[in-house]
Amino acid sequence: METFVPPVPSRINYINAQYGLKSWLLTKDHKRIALLYLGSISFFFFIGGLYAMAIRLELLTPQADLLQSATYNKVFTQHGIIMVFFFLIPSIPATLGNFLVPMMIGAKDLAFPRINLLSWYIYLLGGIVTIYALLAGGVDTGWTFYTPFSTTFSNSYVVATGLGIFINGFSSILTGLNFIVTIHTMRAPGMTWFRLPLFIWAHYATSLIMILGTPVIAITILLLAFERVAHIGIFDPAVGGDPVLFQHLFWFYSHPAVYIMVLPGMGIISELIANFSRKNIFGYSFVAFSSLAIAVFGFLVWGHHLFVASQSVYAGMIFSFLSFAVAIPSAIKVFNWTATLYKGSISYDTPMLYALGFIGLFTIGGMTGLFLAALAVDVHVSDTYFVVAHFHYIMVGGTLLAYLGGLHYWWPKITGRMYPEGWGKFSALVVFIGFNLTFLPQFLLGYMGMPRRYHVYPAEFQVLHVLSTAGASILGVGLLIPLVYLMWSMRYGRIAPGNPWNLPGLEWRTQSPPPTENFDYTPVVTWEAYEFAPPEETEVVGKFQDKVPEKA
């Protein structure tokens, strides 16, 4: 076994290297920018969470009591917009990705530090414009902005909100661009493509979607705004336009956007599963290439959102087929993660609990996606709570759990302090239970026919709604606990060593928190990813095994 002794810790790190507001607001350090993002997305997550609680409380009873129609429509719209565009999409890439992509490949920073800072300011500007729209009166179109409701009928702040999302998109594009160039050009000597941690592969795939997909939503929102303001007739059939065209354009980005949310999460899970079982990941190249396959095939399945939207029967069949096909790379990941645990040395630290929870919930989220890809079942469940439950399993059960797992895992590296382990495990359990109680009943509601975006509903759906609201309350508590103890630990947590988990990754071979340049000297990589023991010791297990890969 190699011993992982971090370099002698110097007391100067990226946090105390400079003081003052200006040193943060004008920083070009990717680690500080990651913290700026962490603060801002946490703020938006909190707002989005408040909307979620309002929704769940209103749905406790079949009548409209807490919120009336107009308010409820704004609340669910704004919940979706804030959570999707201002939390989920930037969540992992802009915080953990920003912090760790350079560190994990042995670089001093991202390729374009100024562009990185610019991306945060763009995000902030987009966020401010959107918050202005919400304060001025809000928006009630649903986060999907379907025409002609959004262009002609809605009396809310559609253009202002759209502008906020439009601006925000550029921060996403710049982040993606920065990651791609960094991963191509700034890997440390010896860090070959197949020695990259899978977190990097996942971010590479995510970045491809960001730079290829985001321009499409930008154009779509622009067309929407022109149509609303100047009535140019792109989406209005009375002047030769087509309202369904909007749905095609919208989902051409917004379906791949789901992979922007979940691929980085998968990257984190690969890290956690390998590192907390002290094993090389099973089928490294399959896990790596499945990320790229998801990124590519993810662009070909948008039409499965239009099975009941007067799309042709044959188009429906093709999109159904492709949607089933895109499930396979995800299945490969799940099987490889499970196989990685085989004969591992598995610890039960908080990040690992989140990772195990992720695999369970992502399996359910993925498998219920097959219901929606199956045409005849989708006709029945589309636009019902089944869809709501499915995408929350992917976005909350998947992305949010991975994000929390990653945040705990790298917390000692980011802050130089340990989080309280007991509270960590407890809240992971509460989140898991609360999440399932919230969203499992919604699958049943959906098949029973409960349409989404209804706040008044037939009484027979109430029992399941009450269960869901109870679960949401537990989930809310489970998310508040880490908020409290993580902030507490920044000041009072136990001082973290450079390598608290005893791991071989590059980010653990420097002090915690890292110095501004990340490493005291440029690392030279002579080991494979997740190499806990020398490759000569590789075990061949079971009748299925191929010959042992020969390593140089």
User: From the CB of 323, what's the least distance to another protein, in Å?
Assistant: 9
DSSP 79: H
Pick between residue 115 and residue 367 the one whose CB is nearest to another protein. Answer: 367
User: From the CB of 260, what's the least distance to another protein, in Å?
Assistant: 24
Please, what is the end-to-end C-alpha distance for the chain in angstroms?
Answer: 18
Helix (H, G, I), strand (E, B) or coil at 35: helix
Confirm if 140 and 543 have CB atoms less than 8 A apart. no
Token code pair at residue 550: 């020969």
CA distances from 144 to 16, 135, 148, 167, 231 (A): 43, 20, 12, 17, 19
Distance CA 253, CA 269 (A): 25
Which of 317, 314, 264, 310 minimizes the C-alpha distance to 95? 264
Nearest 5°: CA angle at 38, between 413 and 11? 35
Which of 188, 208, 26 minimizes the C-alpha distance to 114? 26
Which string of DSSP letters, residue by residue, matches 469-484?
Answer: HHHHHHHHHHHHHHHH
Pick between residue 186 and residue 339 the one whose CB is nearest to another protein. Answer: 339
Distance CA 165, CA 121 (A): 14
| Nearest-10 Cα torsion for 452, 456, 459, 465 | 50
User: From the CB of 87, what's the least distance to another protein, in Å?
Assistant: 22
Pick between residue 161 and residue 384 the one whose CB is nearest to another protein. Answer: 384
Helix (H, G, I), strand (E, B) or coil at 174: helix
User: From the CB of 240, what's the least distance to another protein, in Å?
Assistant: 8
Pick between residue 348 and residue 492 the one whose CB is nearest to another protein. Answer: 348
User: From the CB of 52, what's the least distance to another protein, in Å?
Assistant: 18
Pick between residue 153 and residue 492 the one whose CB is nearest to another protein. Answer: 153
User: From the CB of 518, what's the least distance to another protein, in Å?
Assistant: 27
Pick between residue 242 and residue 520 the one whose CB is nearest to another protein. Answer: 242
**HEC profile of 382-404:** CCEHHHHHHHHHHHHHHHHHHHH
Pick between residue 113 and residue 142 the one whose CB is nearest to another protein. Answer: 142
Pick between residue 123 and residue 393 the one whose CB is nearest to another protein. Answer: 393
User: From the CB of 456, what's the least distance to another protein, in Å?
Assistant: 4
Pick between residue 210 and residue 224 the one whose CB is nearest to another protein. Answer: 224
Distance CA 373, CA 325 (A): 10
User: From the CB of 154, what's the least distance to another protein, in Å?
Assistant: 7
**Residue 77 belongs to what H/E stretch?**
helix 69-81
User: From the CB of 463, what's the least distance to another protein, in Å?
Assistant: 10
User: From the CB of 56, what's the least distance to another protein, in Å?
Assistant: 16
Query: How many CB atoms within 10 Å of residue 211?
Result: 16
Burial class (CB in 10 A: 0-12, 13-18, 19+), 480: middle
Token code pair at residue 343: 């004969």
Pick between residue 185 and residue 539 the one whose CB is nearest to another protein. Answer: 539
DSSP 333: H
Confirm if 336 and 286 have CB atoms less than 8 A apart. yes
Confirm if 142 and 125 have CB atoms less than 8 A apart. no
Pick between residue 82 and residue 373 the one whose CB is nearest to another protein. Answer: 373
User: From the CB of 502, what's the least distance to another protein, in Å?
Assistant: 8
